[in-house]
Structure 1
Amino acid sequence: MIEGEFELPQLAQLGVEDQVFVTAFVRCHGSIKEMERIFGVSYPTIKSRLNRISQMLDFVETDPAPSRADVIDRLRRGDINAQQALSELEAGT
């Protein structure tokens, strides 16, 4: 048995209908025309629902700033110079 407090992933926190909608959107490869056909609703309805759902989800950073250790390691290896390292460290703060 596992005990503890755990937070559900964002998509799991959506209601069942919204989860079905997001799943359909992904399976349609983001085709709003296909979503119109599947759900039998208009383009503005699909867009409105997508906008509502997107506001419920936090943005996930897909290219996070490198950690200080990563920058220092790259500097030590000679992959970047001191000025580049300083720029990256300043940008990460």
Structure 2
Amino acid sequence: MALVTRCPSCGHKMDVVALKCPVCGTGVTGRFEIDGLFALSKEQMDFVKIFLKNRGNLSEVQKELGISYPTARNRLNEIVKALGYDVEDEERASEREILEKLKDGQISASEAISMLKGMKKDEND
């Protein structure tokens, strides 16, 4: 079961006020802050799990999810923003990351070209 982080009535952020051990029944009451990761949508959390499983390799994430590299990058940027962090210009970051992978020999020139063309295609969609 997912943690409810928004009030179903008004939409404001919910507070956790009690914790209970399911084994012995010990409970703690108070006001507890929910980490921003728990406020992510199920889709975003699934993406984070796949991203971590692939050790941050967006090329592997995009292959596993069957999406384009730029779409994977955009989803990651949405999660970064949802966690309250600034995101550099997405297009430049994506281009820079593709070129770094090419430079490091992680991808071929044809893969880099395909990824860069995919970015332009996603912009037009």
> Shorter-normalised TM-score: what interval?
0.5 to 0.7
| Bigger Rg, which one | 1
Matches within 5 A, 1:6-85: 6-59=32-85
Q: Which amino acid aligns with 2:35?
A: P
Higher strand share: 2
Higher helix share: 1
**Segments ≥4 residues shifted beyond 3 Å:** none
Partners of 1:4 and 1:48 lie apart in 2 by 37
Q: Tell me the matched-pair count.
A: 59
Which protein, 1 or 2, shows the higher relative CO under an 8 Å CA cutoff with sep ≥ 6? Answer: 1
What is the percentage of aligned positions where both structures have the same residue?
36
Give 1:31 shift: 0.9
TM-score by length of 1: 0.58
* Structure 2 counterpart of 1:77: none
Partners of 2:38 and 2:48 lie apart in 1 by 11
CA RMSD of aligned residues (A): 1.2
